[in-house]
Copies of this chain bind each other. A is one copy, B any other.
Amino acid sequence: MLNIIELRRDLHQHPELGFTEYRTASIVVQTLKSLGYDVIYGQDAIDGDSRRGLPSDKVLEESYQRALEHGADPDIVGNMRGGYTAVVGTLTGKRSGPTLAFRFDMDALPIVESKDQDHFPQQHTFVSHFPGNMHACAHDGHTTIGLGVAEALSQQEFAGTIKLIFQPAEEGVRGAYAMVEKGILDDVDYLFCAHLGCEVPTGQLHGGTTGYLATTKLAAHFQGVASHAGATPEKGRNALLGAATALLNIHSIPRYSTGDTRINVGVLEGGTAANIIPEHARMVIETRSESEEVNSELEQRVRTIIEHSAGMHGLEYDVEVVGGAIPITCDEDMIQIAREEAVGIEGVHTIPEESAYSTGSEDASYMLRRVQENGGKATYMIIGGSNPAPHHHPKFDIEEAALPIGIEWFRRIAMRILR
């Protein structure tokens, strides 16, 4: 039987960034197989071309080697090499029935974990072993719950099919879309997703959420022509002039009377030396809106500005989507089922009527959308975890007491849907 706490702490010590979750995914595959699940992973579980914001080959390979050094099964991760770190486990009931999917995300963040003594993982000696990476958004807990649920359901009788989806690269909203494009959600009738923490105390559970924004993350490249800035400045094509012009104009995109919007140029880098006309520049941009249509319009405005900022200075350019999410609409009856099944779980004391509210973005939104487009139902739940510091903070943590609550909640929901 799985030791939930030990598993969570092992994952916490080995935080892997998006599309490099080789070791994590290896453990997921091993565990699911040992529990009798049919397991697909690697290129069978994710559409390669649809992955957004894929790391460089160098980073992918170094992470792969690191995973091997830290105990990943070579036979398994060999099939994931190149950033194919998605896993899907399926268990079929004895009786026929609908297909129910749960989704868990596995990736960590590029954050240096705190080593202060008031940080629980430091006190209990399970802080990150991978310098510069940290599970600061509870995805170690998500993966643990996912495997805990897998174990719990492997011992149950039910009618229909259970599909456990372990997704890479939620940070930067990059991985869900590629699993959807692979068709993983196409046969799903019911989908439940959840997040741990979210400033909600342990023992409080929300059956749904509202507020997640549509967002697009873009990377733009400007390619000009270098030239000696003293000898022949007129022969250069200045990529930084194009990029700086784009930056100012992107920030000048108008406010919308129809609702809140956001725009940010988060990164700009270009040029090589004081005396060289800069030939290359790179920008990372994000747009957000409550409305998917307005977000598309913002993205289009950004693309138009980049196109013409480049054209103005004779530059080549390209724009690449490196992340994205859409708004989430939870089905009322699924929220209701989730709330009902929360009642009576040991340690649960609060089940608010209202949904949780977030102004973040979440790429599970693509999965909910696909299920709903096919006539299915879905919701996105919150599992309180009394996080002592905000998400993405060097001292982020969740109370481990939240883990068995989460496992039991998912288990009950499965038994309700597939009874």
Interface residues of A (CB under 8 A from B): 172, 213, 215, 217, 229-234, 236, 238, 240-241, 243-245, 247-249, 251-252, 254-258, 260-278, 281, 284-286, 288, 297, 304-305, 307-309, 311-314, 322-323, 359-361
A286 to B278, CA, bound (A): 12
Which B residues touch A277, using CB under 8 A?
Answer: 254, 264, 266
**Interchain nearest-CB distance for A235 vs B (Å):** 8
Would you list 10 pairs from A and B whose C-beta atoms are within 8 A, ordered by A residue? A213-B230, A231-B257, A236-B254, A243-B244, A244-B248, A244-B268, A248-B248, A251-B254, A266-B275, A267-B274
A241 to B305, CA, bound (A): 12
- Residue of chain B at shortest CB distance from A309: B312
Task: Tell me whether chain A's interface is mostly helix, strand or loop, or mixed.
Answer: mixed
Which B residues touch A308, using CB under 8 A?
Answer: 308-309, 311-312
**Interchain nearest-CB distance for A324 vs B (Å):** 11
Whether A240 and B247, one on each chain, are in contact in the complex, defined by CB atoms closer than 8 angstroms, is yes
With contacts A241-B249, A248-B248, A305-B312 known, is A266 near B261, CB below 8 A?
Answer: no
With contacts A234-B255, A245-B248, A311-B311 known, is A276 near B269, CB below 8 A?
Answer: no
Whether B256 and A249, one on each chain, are in contact in the complex, defined by CB atoms closer than 8 angstroms, is no
Whether B270 and A264, one on each chain, are in contact in the complex, defined by CB atoms closer than 8 angstroms, is no
- A241 interface neighbour in B229, B248, B309, B322, Cβ under 8 Å: B248
**Interchain nearest-CB distance for A58 vs B (Å):** 16
